[in-house]
Chain A
Amino acid sequence: MGQAKETWKKTLLIVAMLAPALLITIGIVIYPIINTVINSFVDAETGAPTLRYYTYLFTDELARDHIVYTLWIAVLTVAISMILAYLLALYLRFSDTKISKTIGTLYLLPRFIPNLVTIYAVMTIVRDSGLINRIFMAFGVNFKPGLLFNSKGVIMMNVIFNIPFATMIIVAALSGISESIVESARDVGASRFRVFFQMILPLSFKDVMIAMVFIFMSNISSFTTPYLIGRNHPLLLGVYLRKTFANREYNLAAAISVVIFLFSAVSAFVYLYTNLKEKDWESRAPQ
């Protein structure tokens, strides 16, 4: 009996300690989410349940453009960032020069500069009358990079923002691969190419997936970059959401939010799946 009472007391204590955090989470995260989901199914004029906002988003040609465009930009950003980050990480891990060491200490710095500042800084360089243009003008060439207010510019900015993070994850994964794994592969006759595809890539695959999921999630709902340097149509979902909100179409905005949330949820699922699923070779067996 006494023991049961102890356990009960302990449980109560745990609940009491968790309660504040739980209440705050419910108040500022869970309640708005539920509220938004409900609003997205409610007709603004009649107050009756409806699917019209979702039907609109997925059937209206202009609205559908936004969704497809957003996915397209996010996928391209993920692909380009990962390739560049992987190459950089390989260089940082396997090159032992002063240059690689310097880059190794500096590559994370851009993360500490506020996005807005970076965007404006890059704009002054790449805009059609910017630094690059001026330098070319000095040689009598009127070269316009044409990187602003179109997809190229948005992807370029996204890639700039995501490379440090992706590189950090991959560098960590690559430093977990011991030198003797690479050397023993070379020893039995594998070329560098083969070492990469049969040793390094499979051994860092999990971390690559995780980095991809994070980049995808942050880009599916990105706002600042496309708002400042994106084009007018199609819009990224973040900008479209703001536009809808500004037009006081709150219920449509709610539906857009839910769609963004669903895309994130899918990637979160991929993340959990890769992270939780342990292959035979990954489990820690008693030595």
Chain B
Amino acid sequence: MDETIKLEIRNMTKLYKNGDGVKNINLKVRKGELMTLLGPSGCGKTTILRTIGGFLQCNAGEILIDGKNIVAMPPEKRPTAMVFQSYNLWPHMTVYDNLAFGLKLRKIPKPEIAERIADALKLVKMEGMEKKYPNQMSGGQQQRVAIARSLLLKPEVLLLDEPFSALDAKIRMQMREELRKIQTDLDITVVFVTHDQEEAMALSDVTVVMNKGSVEQIGSPYEIYHHPASRYVADFIGEMNFIEAKLGVHTAIRPENITVRKGPGGDLDGTVRNIMMLGHYTEMIVDTELGLIKAFLSGGEAEEFVRGEAVSLYFSETKEFSE
């Protein structure tokens, strides 16, 4: 991957009247990279995205694209394009007009507009939909057109604000894959906001985990999953057991890093409370003196155990967080 920094946010602060907002944000996105901002609602991820797009004015700090500070520019002057959560398309315009609007503003000749629109629709697999109105399409189709519309303007940075959250699970997965493909094919820089950790894991080169207006951890999905920097990140990403063996020190163990054996003598002993078959793996809940522990077993392993049986747990990878 290219090492040039495409987008940089320096010491950015944006506070709302009620005191919420984000403080001292520093981020660097390299060219061609897909960065996700991940966190629960109200953590400030959308605030950051909207300050990049120019829909919010930041109180302090700089936002640089290719080294140029864009903080003073209105949205229409910024080299960014944004895809919103929903109601992206202008309802009174056909797909063609929706796509042509920005190009017409740039005074691009008509034949070229038509050509570029045809290419863009092909890219998002929506050929032949030019004459449809937004209300004649499904939510997924509308978001495809919205993405095409943003790509047409060849933005330096593409911003996506939970674009798939209103779609049903299957379409969401499909859109995710296609977005990733388009992004790598065109080598565009993307900032993607989501509250869905699975989506963040699947899409990102770099994930920024956010909590209450500040950054908790920045890293690749692998780093964030296997080396969470804080208890918050460990808890937010994936499944995690926390046990307090010593006062004030919490040990975190992922359910897949637990081996279950019959009888006592493990890192922790307990009795089987519940066994749930979840497709290719089985979830086992073990009742221990330090609380309930969740373990993932492969299908075959789980068959040896019954409810109420005494078992021992062996931890292969743990991490400690002190309070």
Contact = CB atoms under 8 A, between A and B. Distances in A.
A102 interface: no
Nearest to B53: A187
Interface stretch (B81-89, B193-201, B296-304): B81-89
Contacts of A180: 84-88
Given A180-B88, A202-B92, A188 B133 contact: no
Interface in A137-196: 178, 180-181, 183-191, 194
A284 interface: yes
A203 interface: yes
Contacts of B84: 180, 183-184
A283 B134 CA distance: 10
Contacts of A186: 54-55, 74-76
10 contacts: A180-B87, A187-B53, A188-B81, A188-B149, A189-B76, A189-B106, A189-B153, A190-B102, A281-B92, A284-B135
B40 interface: no
Contacts of B91: 181, 203, 281-282
Interface in B72-128: 74-77, 80-82, 84-93, 101-102, 105-106
B136 interface: yes
Interface string A85-112: 0000000000000000000000000000
A188 B134 contact: no
- Interface band, chain A: 20 to 34
Q: 7 tightest A-B contacts by CB?
A: A188-B102, A180-B84, A281-B133, A178-B87, A186-B75, A189-B76, A189-B105
A189 B87 contact: no
Contacts of A262: none
B57 to A, nearest CB: 13
A160 B320 CA distance: 71
B85 A281 contact: no
B138 interface: yes
Given A178-B87, A181-B87, A281-B91, A187 B135 contact: no
A55 interface: no
A175 to B, nearest CB: 13
- Greatest chain B CB density within 10 A among A180, A187, A190 is at A187
B266 interface: no
Contacts of B105: 188-190, 194
A121 interface: no
A14 interface: no
A89 to B, nearest CB: 19
B135 A283 contact: yes
Interface string B198-210: 0000000000000
A285 interface: yes
A30 interface: no
B135 A285 contact: yes
Given A180-B85, A185-B101, A191 B92 contact: no
Interface in A229-287: 279-285, 287
Nearest to B50: A183
B133 A185 contact: no
A279 B94 CA distance: 12
A190 B55 contact: no
A99 to B, nearest CB: 15
Interface string A19-42: 000000000000000000000000
B139 interface: yes
Interface in B118-161: 133-139, 146, 149-150, 153
A180 B146 CA distance: 12
A204 B136 CA distance: 20
A280 B135 CA distance: 9
Given A190-B105, A194-B105, A183 B133 contact: no
Given A188-B81, A287-B139, A199 B87 contact: no
Contact of B138 (A184, A199, A287): A287
Nearest to B81: A187
Given A180-B84, A203-B92, A190 B76 contact: yes
Contacts of A283: 135
B138 A181 contact: no
A191 B86 CA distance: 22
Given A279-B92, A283-B135, 20 more contacts: A180-B85, A181-B91, A183-B75, A184-B82, A186-B54, A186-B76, A187-B81, A187-B82, A188-B81, A188-B102, A188-B149, A189-B105, A190-B76, A190-B101, A191-B76, A199-B90, A202-B92, A281-B133, A285-B136, A287-B138
Contacts of A198: 101
